[in-house]
Structure 1
Amino acid sequence: MTTAAAPATGRRPHHRDRFDAVIAGGGPAGAAAAITLARAGRSVLLADAHTGPPKTSESLVPAARMLLHDLGIDPRELDRGHRPCHGVLSAWGSPHPQQVHFINDPHGHGWHLDRPAFDHLLRSHALARGALVAERTTVGRPARLPDGDWQVTLTATGARRTVRCRWLIDATGRRARIAVHCGAVRHRYDRLVAVHLRLAPDPRDGENRSLVESAPDGWWYTAPCHPTGRLVAYFTDSDLTPPALTTPEVFLDRLATAPHLAARAKGRPPHPGDVPRRCAAHTARLEPAAGEGWIAVGDAATAYDPVSSQGVLSALYTGKCAAEAVDAHLNGEHDATGRYTAQLHTTFDSYLAGHRAVHSWEERWSTHPFWQRRQHPRAPAAG
């Protein structure tokens, strides 16, 4: 367990067994919530279990600079240890790649994130602001006490302790583990999965753009990894995933059918010790996203298709906004969480409309199941 530094003047000191909020999940959403609440003078415990699939390289769009500033983080900190992202190439709807260059973006360039390093940076800021950060610690199933507090068990390697809190913040990703225990239901809109593989470093790889390339049964993505590696990922529906795609040979054979990605992967074996890994990438929404004494953030609240490039940005934004709602609620504004969930609904509905439009641009394989499902979506399924 890592303890916080002495709180700044004017802050209430932590009581080690009772907090204003316990946050389950130490990714960008949970860390943004911890930073926001700690800056407001609230006592916060951020528990990061370090479980789940390995973090992959992801891109952070230039507009995230404003959110980082709002969180008290100088965006220049990302220039150390993360590669700049100067644009996106997209072979989508056409065999010829089109480019979106960030030189025209008023916020400047984005970044190809080293996710473990980025997550650690955010948790370090939460710690510096006065939050208690518990590494490799899992938040157990919550129990509501008669006085309205929550009681949760924190489990770390070889140790368990029980704490109380006024609010629980679920930042556990698509599983929404805490919110589901509180009665919320996850609604899945598709069966999208990702199979990803890191390629061996190549010092000649100086490209600073990501690339998206559509395919008959899904789409491909590649981006540089820090310092000279490269991530490649294939996105398709779970029932359309080719057999044995998680073996390097089958994965690289399928990659060879995507000409623009294949050109960037040519002659590069997998990163030593790495194999293709599969993880969930489906669109989902939690109903409700907040309740009495709990609130969900990031993928736990709304999970977006990675083609939208909204994942990390949404995590930071919802973490910040949910924490502001919790702080306002603790100050007596009991409609604050309702405003948060209403904004989630508005944003998600706009995303769904845009998601359908983007997939309608690809007409070459409009009769294939993957593309038909997105051009004529069905009602979401619970679970």
Structure 2
Amino acid sequence: MDQLTTDVCIAGRGPAGIIAARQLVLAGFSVIIIDNPSHKIHKFGETLPGSAIRLLTKLGLQSVIEALQKDQNLHQDYSPRVSGNMSFWGSETALFTDALQDPYGFGLRIDRQVFDALLAQHAQIDKIPQFSTNILDLKKIDNNWNVHLECGTSISAKWIIDATGRSAKISRLLGIERHRGIPLVALYRSCTPEKNISFNKTIISSDKNGWLYAGKISESHWVMGYHTTPKTASTLHNNAQNWNSILGKNTTISGLLGHLELKKDIYAHDVRSAWLKQGLGDGWIACGDALLAFDPIAGQGLFNAIYTGMKAVENIIQSAKDKHSQAQYLAEINRVIKTYENRRYALYKQEQRWLNSAFWKAHQTTTD
């Protein structure tokens, strides 16, 4: 069995893990990344908000944004600017928001696979030792973690970072309690609209059993997402007739985009709110969706991943100097959770047209 030693072991290679790895190396720490590709879920059509673009620039990673826009010009497989939102929420009348009024500016609608690859490339994490395998168990021995991998390697690390996304693999191994919010499933499909294919705002439209998200992801393709209860999602999965019924009844979507040519593949994700009751402990810390995962209505998942990845590293650096740094980190995370939950509740409460709907009844309740 191979035995390796490092300062920090990072579990997960999404945006939070990539940012954490880069910042640690810049601070002089040795790092090993562990990522199990079998746990990857297909993601596409997300929005990189202006706040996240500004944060990447602050971190010296503006080249990622430049690469996305360069790809747009060269390959037509691009990240178009998102000029704002067009919402049909609580009314059949459209409500517009404009990126010009956003203090952080425009966002980009990205292909997540492309974005993650570019972020890893420009963060220059290729020289960091990486294992594509699963973590079987971990134990704290004296002041170090002993991490046992499925491939047979054992790693000794002073710190371990849980950046494993919504699975929160490390936190589960440690027995950390996790809050899980109201069940919410997102079904995503790519499609080609009949008209207004160049429209560059995100469209959000509610209906009796959930809400729809639509946005342009390339020259000829859009992403369509339906967010609903697990029961409704099961009836829609791989059932074109039911999808056409949902879209046909939504006059706002059909009126704007006309007939939608839906692609075959459907991707289902559990997207309920979730967060750890304890986000860090002796020699370990969580970031990204492993720490706190937002309902997609918040539109801040990527900002949260980048920001908490950065803050996790700041906490590791400060922990040796300031015994109060952990308490400060937890206090900040708790403020973020409270602000998010208040906003989530307020947004769902704005929809008053289907008060007897099981979906809206559930999502118009506060959580503890």
Aligned equivalent of 1:141, options 137, 140, 150: 137
Distance 1:110 1:338 in 2: 33
- The residue type paired with residue 109 of structure 2 is H
Q: Hey, what does 1:341 align to over in structure 2?
A: 330
Higher mean alpha-carbon deviation, 109-118 vs 332-341, is at: 332-341
In the superposition, the TM-score normalised over structure 2's length comes to 0.89
The question of whether the paired residues in 1 share the 8 Å contact of 2:111 and 2:217 is answered with yes
Counterpart of 2:74?
A: none
The one-letter amino acid of 1:343's match is: E
Deviation at 1:123, TM superposition (A): 1.6
The alignment partner of 1:241 has SS state of helix
Q: Which of 110, 115, 120 matches 2:117?
A: 120
Give the 4+ runs in structure 1 shifted more than 4 A. Answer: 200-204
Q: Which amino acid aligns with 1:115?
A: R
How many Å apart are 1:209 and its aligned residue? 1.3
Compare the two structures and name the one with the higher helix fraction. 2
**Which amino acid letter does the alignment assign opposite residue 104 of structure 1?**
Q
* Alignment match, 1:150: 145
Residues 35 and 131, structure 1, Cα contact 8 Å, conserved in 2: no
Shift in Å at residue 357 of structure 1? 1.0
Which residues of 2 match residues 350-361 of structure 1 at below 5 A?
350-361=339-350
SS in 2 for 1:234: strand
Please give the per-residue CA displacement for 1:318-343, whole angstroms capped at 9, x wherever unaligned. Answer: 111011111222x3333323221211
- The change in CA–CA distance for 1:350 and 1:106 in structure 2 (over 3 A counts) is closer
Look up the match of 1:17. 4
**1:228 corresponds to which of 215, 220, 243:** 220
Q: How do 1:1-383 residues align onto structure 2 when only pairs under 5 Å count? A: 17-50=4-37, 51-74=39-62, 75-79=65-69, 80=71, 81-128=78-125, 131-134=128-131, 136-145=132-141, 147-155=142-150, 159-200=151-192, 205-241=197-233, 243-263=235-255, 266-271=258-263, 274-329=264-319, 331-377=320-366, 379=368
CA distance in 2 between counterparts of 1:152 and 1:227 reads 45
Give, in angstroms, the shift of residue 72 of structure 1: 1.6
1:335 maps to a residue whose letter is H
Letter in 2 for 1:352: E
**TM-score, normalisation: structure 1:** 0.86
1:244 CA displacement:
4.2
1:54 Cα offset (Å): 0.6
CA apart distance, 1:204: 7.2
One-letter code of the match for 1:73? L
Question: Do the aligned partners of 1:247 and 1:276 also contact (CA within 8 Å) in 2?
Answer: no
Partner-residue secondary structure (3-state), 1:179? helix
Q: Classify the secondary structure of the residue corresponding to 1:269.
A: strand
Q: What's the CA shift for 1:223?
A: 1.1
Cα offsets for 1:81-118 (capped at 9, x unmatched): 42211111111011111111102234331100110111
Return 5+ residue gaps in structure 1 as ranges: 1-15
Query: Conserved in 2, the CA contact under 8 Å of 1:23 and 1:44?
Result: yes
* Distance in 1 (alpha carbons) for counterparts of 2:297 and 2:225: 12
Shift of 1:266: 3.6
Contact 1:33 1:323 in 2 (8 A): yes
Query: Which stretches in structure 2 are left out of the alignment for 5+ residues?
Result: 72-77
- The code of the aligned residue for 1:363 comes to Q
Q: 1:166 to 1:244 in 2, by over 3 A?
A: same
Describe the superposition over 1:24-56 as per-residue Cα deviations: whole angstroms up to 9, x where unpaired. 111111111112211111111223323232112
Q: Report the CA distance between 1:127 and its aligned residue.
A: 2.8
Identity of aligned residues (%): 29
Alpha carbons 1:248, 1:276 under 8 Å: kept: no
Conserved 8 A contact 2:195-2:257: no
- CA shift, 1:361, in A, is 1.0
**Counterparts of 2:241 and 2:360 in 1: how far apart (Å)?**
26
Q: In structure 2, what is the Cα distance between the partners aligned to 1:356 and 1:106? A: 24
Change (3 A) 1:231 1:115: same
Query: C-alpha separation between the residues in 1 aligned to 2:270 and 2:333?
Result: 21
- Aligned residue for 1:168, secondary structure, equals strand
In 2, distance between residues paired with 1:267 and 1:239?
26
Q: Which deviates more, 208-217 or 44-53?
A: 44-53
**Corresponding residue of 2:75:** none
